[in-house]
Amino acid sequence: MERSRKIIRTSLIGIAVNAVLVAAKLAVGLLSGSIAVLLDAVNNLGDALSSVITIIGTKLAGRAPDKKHPYGYGRIEYLTSVVISVIVLTAGITSLKESLKSALHPQAASYSAGVLLVIGIAVAAKLVCGQYIKSVGKQIHAQTLVASGSDSVFDAMLSLGTLAAAGISVIWGISLEGILGILISAVILKAGVEMLLETLNSIIGIRADRELSEALKAKVNSYDGVLGAYDLALHNYGPSEIIGSVHVEVEDSMTAREIHSLTRRIAMEVYTAFGIALTVGIYASNTSDSRASELKKDLEQIVGRYPEILQMHGFYARVDEKMATFDLVMDFKADGAQVRERVLNELRGKYPDWNFSIILDSDYSD
Angstrom distances, CA of residue 105 to CA of 39, 170, 172, 272: 17, 18, 18, 63
Provide the β-strand partners of residue 251: 285
Told to check if 249 binds Zn ion by CB under 5 A, we report: no
Question: Which region, judged by CB under 5 A, interacts with Zn ion, from 12-20, 34-42, 122-130, 228-236?
Answer: 228-236
Pairing relation of β-strands 323-330 and 242-251? unpaired
**Min separation Cβ 363 and Zn ion, Å:** 11
Question: Which region, judged by CB under 5 A, interacts with Zn ion, from 137-145, 201-209, 216-224, 226-234?
Answer: 226-234
Q: Which residue sits closest to Zn ion, CB atoms considered?
A: 327
Q: Which long-range contacts (CB under 8 A, 24 or more apart) does 123-128 make?
A: 123/156, 123/159, 123/160, 123/163, 124/156, 125/17, 125/20, 125/21, 126/17, 126/21, 126/44, 126/152, 126/153, 126/155, 126/156, 126/159, 127/152, 127/153, 127/156
**Min separation Cβ 329 and Zn ion, Å:** 7
* Closer residue to Zn ion (CB): 172 or 332: 332
**Min separation Cβ 327 and Zn ion, Å:** 3
Region for 281 from its dihedrals, namely left if φ exceeds 0, alpha if ψ lies in -120 to 50, beta otherwise: beta
Residue 311's nearest CA partner among 319, 320, 300 is 300
Told to check if 231 binds Zn ion by CB under 5 A, we report: yes
* Closer residue to Zn ion (CB): 287 or 362: 362
Count of positions on this chain that bind Zn ion (CB under 5 A): 4
Site string for Zn ion, 272-311 (x = CB under 5 A): ----------------------------------------
Distant-in-sequence, close-in-space partners of 166: CB < 8 Å, separation ≥ 6:
34, 36, 109, 111, 115, 116, 119, 177
**Min separation Cβ 184 and Zn ion, Å:** 51
**Which member of 73, 327, 336, 339 binds Zn ion (CB under 5 A)?**
327
**Min separation Cβ 283 and Zn ion, Å:** 7
Question: Which region, judged by CB under 5 A, interacts with Zn ion, from 165-173, 235-243, 289-297, 326-334?
Answer: 326-334
Distant-in-sequence, close-in-space partners of 245: CB < 8 Å, separation ≥ 6:
231, 232, 233, 278, 279, 280, 281
Told to check if 361 binds Zn ion by CB under 5 A, we report: yes
Question: Which region, judged by CB under 5 A, interacts with Zn ion, from 126-134, 196-204, 297-305, 322-330?
Answer: 322-330
**Min separation Cβ 340 and Zn ion, Å:** 13
* Contact residues for Zn ion, defined by CB under 5 A: 231, 314, 327, 361
